[in-house]
Amino acid sequence: MLMSMLIPKQPAGQGAVSQRRKRRPFRAKRGRETGARYRREILAVGGSCPALERFIAFRGREPEPAALLRSYGLAV
């Protein structure tokens, strides 16, 4: 019973499945590129550089504390 609450049910009908298949190639390519950039900018460097520098190199911007608060439902 607990597992059924954690795993979302798959949408009914072929329309939803075919829509996902149409979008998948672009997402997969973008996902591979993001993964490679993450490995290069975050994992490969390890703890040899400050985390803020690594975040900026990976995301291309400084972190926004408001985004973290929004993710926890504490938007100001």
Residue 56 lies in domain: 19-71
Would residue 13 count as lying in a domain? no
Confirm whether 30 is domain-assigned: yes
3-state secondary structure labels for all residues of 27-76: HHHHHHHHHHHHHHHHHCCCCCCCHHHHHHHHHCCCCCHHHHHHHCCCCC
**Domain total for the chain?**
1
pLDDT tens for each residue of 40-54: 999 999 999 999 999
Asked if the structure places residue 12 within a domain, the reply is no
| Structural domain contains residue 62 | yes
Contact 75, 69 (CB under 8 A): yes
Q: Is the pLDDT of residue 26 over 80?
A: no
Q: What's the pLDDT tens digit per position in 62-74?
A: 999 998 899 999 9
CA dist 76 and 45 (Å) reads 34
What's the rounded mean pLDDT across residues 13-38? Answer: 71
